[in-house]
Chain A
Amino acid sequence: MTEKKKTYIEDIERTLYDIKDEDRSVYKAHSGLTEDVVRDISTRKHEPQWMLDFRLKSLDVYNSLELPTWGPSLDELHMDDIVTYVQPDAKMTGSWEEVPEDIKDTFDRLGIPEAEKTSLGGVGAQYDSEVVYHSIQEDMVKQGVIYTDMETAVREHEDIVKEYFMTLVPPKDHKFAALHGAVWSGGSFVYVPAGVHVEMPLQSYFRLNAAGAGQFEHTLIIVEPGASLHFIEGCSAPKHNVTNLHAGCVELFVKDGARLRYSTIENWSRNMMNLNTKRALVEKDGIIEWVSGSFGSHISCLYPCSVLHGENARCEFTGVTFASKGQNLDTGASVIHAAPHTSANINTRTISKAGGMATYRSAVKVTKNAPFAKCSVNCESLMLDNLSRSDTLPVMDIEGDEADIGHEAKIGRISDEAIFYLTSRGIDEEEARAMIVRGFVEPIAKELPLEYALEMNNLVNIELEGTIG
């Protein structure tokens, strides 16, 4: 019999993610949030006046709003200690050769340049507050596809940005949306013209290296009528002893008959407060597909929202959350049916272990304007021990009578009989548990791009070592 690995969560192999680079930033804003900091960021970015005004107005809103009264406690977040802007010593470039060696090494380890060669149509890479690399295949450009960092977009595609920027997630939405409006930096801008199908996915990777910093990238995607796109977002950070904050914002505009798939594997380190806001506006016959994996961070509040605004608009949400020791992951989805014949499917799996807390939170709203709305929600939770917590809190709010809404949730543990069945076939207990957990998340894994599915499997394996023995 082979000796069992006794890995504990503290010693988990996160080497790949945990290598911190030396902090060689050329500029850091003062910690805390003041008007000076906001003005400073805007000046450094050479922004037009309207954007500075937008930032300052957002700051006012931020100061006037209270923290949410629900969800995980945010007591550990001290905004006065957070550095909102960290400019790396690198200029945005379209060639990996020009990316400084140590930063390039980081992305090499994460496999980004390699993936670009084999399976992606374009790549963006953000390091701390600024995007350091952006590139897209030539033929995409010829078809009019724009994929660039947000700063460039503000300069070169000002009209489009002005029309859409933070209209779907207005700063007054909640305190962290306001914060984002005031100090946003970096992120990706994608514009797909009508009828264009982007065959290979575009991927933006966000890496936060500096300790005690915040990352506030803004992602704005517009998919014009009849067009389609698969966008992948990856995030990670090395572990620091101080709290880092991520308050990104994603705004997706899916026009008539367009289709957008937005995949995320989030693996922030365990000192991260991940308070991210993602929203999609879907027009007639449009489809938004979310694939969302939440593995990292200390605290997460993440509920991608789909506003089904046009007739027949559709949302498919697939999510997996794995909360381990020291993690409180509050995740889910919301859907607003605002037009007739809109439909949504929400399918999630949550796992909690070693004292981790996982919450599934959702809202399904059917407005008066949405007769024949259809929505089905299925969420399953698996608890691997009784130190952990798993909560499910869905709300359905339906106006009118022409709706068909179903919700189902399950909570439980790995059954002893399933373990016995697998071990009776010669599979050892540890592997049997891992197989069952992998099987549990399989419906989600199969929605992910292959390399991400593999990464997710690795993460599940890493997380599971230490559950037995």
Chain B
Amino acid sequence: MDDKIFSEIPMRTWRWLGVNEARVPENLSDNVKKQQILVEAGQKDEVVLVNREGSQLEVQVHIADGGELHLVNAQLVPADTAVTSRVKVYVGKGAKFSYTTVEAGARHTAAELTVDMAGDDSVSDIWGLYFGDGESKIDLNYVIRQKGRRTDANMQVRGALLGKSEKIFRGTLDFLEGSKGSVGRENEEVVLLSPQVRNRSVPVMLSHEDDVDGHHAVSVGKIDEGKLFYLMSRGLDMADAQRLIVEASFNPVIDRINDEALKEEIDKVLMGRLVNG
């Protein structure tokens, strides 16, 4: 059971890198939470999902033509728990899918996001945040398939790794044949905060259509020393300065959450662990 594959990368590569598949976490609870979200044509909706216990979350989303959905998926399970999340999204013509996801807890988390931008002029705007500390493992596989004409995809991921945490982020933009006039942007920024972390980043871009504009970028490194120095010259100590910088990189994601109480809860979890890490 331990070795079961939870999710696969759309295009395989060298095995020794260990990124081809995300495995089902050990000691995963059998508790499966299923959720279906339907946004009718022209409707606008917001759904907030918060996982505090460690179940298997399975979400199916259908956004009909011209519909709009903002889905918030916050994973705040206890640090000794395993958790998975699988989100499948269909985006109709002229429809918009906004996604804000926070991976802030768990000992082992695996998450898959698949967005089918089937409709012409559909938009998806994906913002993700992950935070690893202790011995936590974070294994993510996000795929956006751009099928319609003039689709617009944006995938922005911010992360920080502490302790002995390990993380794999795979982010795929797939321009399918016929996706003329589509644009796709993907960007991951990772801050490394401990010498024992392991970070794997796999930004994949597949294209079967010439009339597209795709761009991806990844940056991995320590906290910018110039920024640290600037803040410390203003009287902050190292820990405060670090916290402030990490917070700043997380803010574009957290600011998208409208629920103030949830925002505060996430902030508390993250900052509390950042200090202890």
Q: Contact string, B179-209, partner A, CB cutoff 8 A, digits 1/0? A: 0100000000000111111111111111111
Inter-chain CA distance A405–B211, complex, in Å, is 30
Q: Restricting to A376-409, which residues have a CB under 8 Å from any CB of B?
A: 381, 383-386, 388-409
Tell me, in angstroms, the Cα distance from A230 to B211 when the chains sit together.
40
User: Is B1 on the interface with A (CB-CB < 8 A)?
Assistant: no
Let me know if A400 and B201 touch, CB within 8 A: no
Interface flag for B210 (CB, 8 Å)? yes
Residues from chain A with a CB closer than 8 A to the CB of B195 are: 368, 371, 400-402
Contact partner, A412, options B199, B206, B212, B222, Cβ 8 Å = B212
When the two chains form their complex, are residues A397 and B17 in contact, meaning their CB atoms are under 8 A apart?
Answer: yes
Q: What is the count of residue pairs linking A and B with beta-carbon distances less than 8 angstroms?
A: 136
Most chain B CB within a 10 A radius of its CB, from A361, A398, A402, A408: A398
The verdict on A155 contacting chain B, using a C-beta distance below 8 Å, is no
Residue of A nearest to B184 (CB): A411
The yes or no answer to A117 lying at the interface (CB within 8 A) is no
Find the B residue at minimum CB distance from A406: B219
- Report how far A397 CA is from B199 CA in the complex, Å: 6
0/1 string, B37-50, CB within 8 A of A gives 1: 00000000000000
Let me know if A383 and B207 touch, CB within 8 A. yes
What's the least CB distance linking B193 to chain A, in Å? 6
A402 to B225, CA, bound (A): 12
Q: Which residues of B contact A (CB under 8 A)?
A: 11-15, 17, 19-20, 161, 175, 177, 180, 192-222
Which of A371, A386, A405 gathers most chain B CB within 10 Å? A386
Distance A442 CA – B193 CA, assembled complex (angstroms): 39
Assess whether B202 is in contact with A388, with CB atoms less than 8 Å apart: no
CB proximity of A355 to chain B, nearest CB, Å: 11
Would you call A395 and B17 a contact (CB within 8 A)? yes
* A391 in contact with B11 given A386-B211, A398-B198 (CB within 8 Å): yes
The CA of A392 and the CA of B173, in the complex, are separated in Å by 10
| Neighbouring A residues of B20 by C-beta, 8 Å | 70
> Beyond A70-B13, A413-B210, is A394–B219 a contact (Cβ under 8 Å)?
no
Residues of chain A within 8 A of B218, CB atoms compared: 396, 405-408
Establish whether residues B192 and A398, one from each chain, have CB atoms under 8 Å apart when the complex forms: yes
A47: min CB distance to chain B, Å = 32
* Residue of B whose beta carbon sits closest to that of A398: B199
A410 within 8 A of B: yes
Q: When chains A and B are docked, how far (Å) is the Cα of A127 from the Cα of B207?
A: 39
A231 to B16, CA, bound (A): 30
Collect the chain B residues with CB atoms within 8 Å of residue A406's CB.
Answer: 217-220
A422 CB-CB contact with B under 8 Å: no
- Beyond the given pairs A392-B204, A413-B212, 14 more chain A to chain B contacts, judged by CB atoms under 8 angstroms and listed by A's residue number, are A70-B15, A389-B206, A392-B206, A395-B202, A396-B200, A396-B201, A400-B192, A402-B195, A407-B216, A408-B215, A408-B216, A411-B207, A413-B210, A413-B211
User: In the complex the two chains form, is B222's CB within 8 Å of A388's CB?
Assistant: no
19 A-B contacts (beta carbon < 8 Å): A70-B12, A363-B13, A365-B17, A368-B195, A381-B207, A386-B210, A389-B207, A391-B11, A391-B207, A392-B205, A398-B220, A399-B198, A399-B199, A406-B218, A406-B220, A407-B216, A407-B217, A407-B218, A408-B216
* CA of A363 to CA of B219, assembled, Å: 15
Q: A361 to B210: give the CA distance in the assembly, Å.
A: 19
A391 to B215, CA, bound (A): 12
| Residue picked from A383, A393, A400, A407, most chain B C-beta under 10 Å | A393
Contact residues in A for B221 (Cβ distance below 8 Å)? 403-405
Q: How far is the CB of B237 from chain A (nearest CB, A)?
A: 19
The CA-CA distance from A407 to B201 in the complex, in Å, is 10
Residues of B within 8 A of A412 (CB): 210, 212-214
Would B17 and A69 count as touching, CB distance under 8 A? no
Contacts of B203 in A (CB 8 A): 392, 394, 407, 409
Give per-residue flags for A346-366: 1 if the beta carbon is below 8 A from chain B beta carbons, else 0: 000000000000000101010
Closest CB in chain B relative to A213 CB, distance in Å: 29
Q: Is the CB of B19 within 8 A of A384?
A: no
Complex CA gap A197/B39 in Å reads 70
Q: Taking A392-B205, A395-B202, A409-B203 as contacts, is the C-beta distance between A402 and B222 under 8 angstroms?
A: yes
B145 CB to closest chain A CB (Å) equals: 14
**Cα A241 to Cα B221 with chains together (Å):** 51
Given the interface pairs A400-B196, A405-B220, A406-B218, the reply to whether A395 lies near B13 with Cβ below 8 Å is: yes
B220 nearest CB neighbor, chain A only = A405
Q: Which 7 A-B pairs have the closest CB atoms?
A: A401-B192, A383-B210, A70-B12, A411-B214, A413-B210, A405-B220, A407-B218
Residues of B within 8 Å of A402, CB to CB, are 195, 222
Complex CA–CA separation, A407 to B214 (angstroms)? 14
Is the CB–CB distance between A70 and B14 below 8 Å? yes
Contact A393 B11 (CB under 8 A): yes
| CB nearest neighbor in A for B166 | A399
Contacts A401-B194, A405-B219 known; A389 to B208 CB distance under 8 Å? Answer: yes
A385: B residues at CB distance < 8 A: 210
Within 56-89 of A, Cβ neighbours of B (below 8 Å) are at: 69-71
Given contacts A396-B201, A396-B218, contact A403 B192 (CB under 8 A): yes
Residues from chain A with a CB closer than 8 A to the CB of B208 are 386, 389
A411–B197 contact, CB under 8 A? no
CA distance A383 to B213 in the complex (A): 11
- Please name the residue on chain A nearest to B194 by beta carbon: A401
B100 smallest CB distance to A (angstroms): 24
- Nearest CB of chain A from residue B81's CB, rounded to whole Å: 26
CA distance A386 to B200 in the complex (A): 32
Least Cβ–Cβ distance between A176 and chain B, in angstroms? 14
Cα–Cα, bound, A397→B15 (Å): 13
